[in-house]
Amino acid sequence: MNLQLVAAPPRPAPGVDGAGPAIRLDGPPERVTAAATATADQVAPDYVVELENVSCYYGSFRAVRDVDIRAARNQITALIGPSGCGKSTLLRTINRMNDLIPTYRSEGRILLDGQDLSAKAVDPVAVRRRVGMVFQKPNPFPKTVYDNVAFGPRINGYRGNMDELVERSLRRAALWDDVKDKLKQSGMALSGGQQQRLCIARTIAVEPDVILMDEPCSALDPRSTLQIEELMAELKKDYTIVIVTHNMQQAARASDATVFMTMGDDRAGFVVEHGRTIDIFTNPRNQLTEDYVSGRFG
Ligand code: ADP
């Protein structure tokens, strides 16, 4: 069964500016403090991605446990935390990419616009069309710049004007001016930063709802990193973005909401705190978060 492409109507949700409700650690759920300061004219965000009690396993190893987080529409949500705490696992669970790993399974519910993506009947390919992914290392196809962007729309049976779609996607990825005279050249001949923007153009060419980014700047120089961050700020006007980053400055600069994860003695990753980025970095509620964002741990 294919996923319906009709989005469910937004549902009212607690929290402010992308900060979901506080995350359960051991005790009962707390409320995000900022919610108390919300005024009546603030519109509660609607959440595009919601993870409910999600645990992820590789064989018998539980890599991530009991995650309840949400990503608000047109916002950038950053996942931060020490290496190995399950950030990538969680990200790849959202678009069901980890289904490709035979030993992998997840528990809990993953909702996209209210629709349960983890339901057995949902086609993972349809999920990946709605939830695009940009990887750590730019990975253009060994094809021309044009064909890199046209590839997804073609296999999805796009019937509109392909030249226009390719140009529009490249413009939205802030790459058009760099490549408009190189459309027939190999995408792999571009610089690293350009390749990553090409991968972003390729992702948005199929008009996903959500873009997942797994450390998209870690292989890039500072200038290219800044370009990608500026691009993310533009893209969030049209898309919902969830990014894994090991770069705390990047999370602080570029994201609206931040999820801090760590792991226990059993190496299972869990969410310590989820809130507005400004609160996580300047006024964290949990000592573990404070130690991490201040560089004392991790
Ligand atoms: P992070 O992104 O926070 O660095 P990962 O999601 O990559 O963390 O890894 C979380 C845990 O899952 C780690 O203990 C890692 O070794 C394990 N893991 C990741 N991928 C696999 C896999 N394909 N098979 C088995 N274990 C894996």
Residue-wise pLDDT for 4-19, tens only, equals 333 333 333 333 333 4
187 inside domain = no
Report the alpha-carbon distance of residue 255 to residue 75 in Å, rounded: 7
**Cβ contact 82:298 at 8 Å:** yes
49 inside domain = yes
What residues form DSSP beta bridges with 275? Answer: 258
26 inside domain = no
Backbone angles phi, psi at 177, to 5 degrees: -60, -35
Query: Which is the closest atom of ligand 1 to the Cα of 82?
Result: 3
146 inside domain = no
CA of 17 to the centre of ligand 1 (A): 30
Residue 101, ligand 1, Cβ within 6 A: yes
Report the alpha-carbon distance of residue 278 to residue 244 in Å, rounded: 17
Question: Domain residues for 89?
Answer: 45-140+212-293
Q: Name the stretches of the chain with pLDDT < 50.
A: 1-40
86 inside domain = yes
**Cβ contact 77:114 at 8 Å:** no
104 inside domain = yes
Domain count, the chain: 1
CA of 268 to the centre of ligand 1 (A): 10
**Closest C-alpha to ligand 1, atom 19:** 89
**Closest C-alpha to ligand 1, atom 24:** 58
**Cβ contact 165:158 at 8 Å:** yes
> Which two three-digit tokens encode residue 92?
């790849």
CA of 40 to the centre of ligand 1 (A): 42
280 inside domain = yes
What's the confidence (pLDDT) of residue 121?
Answer: 84
**Cβ contact 150:166 at 8 Å:** yes
User: Which CATH number is 264's domain given?
Assistant: 3.40.50.300
**Closest C-alpha to ligand 1, atom 12:** 63
What's the confidence (pLDDT) of residue 39?
Answer: 47
Residue 93, ligand 1, Cβ within 6 A: no
CA of 63 to the centre of ligand 1 (A): 7
Return the H-helix or E-strand segment holding 72. Answer: strand 61-72
105 inside domain = yes
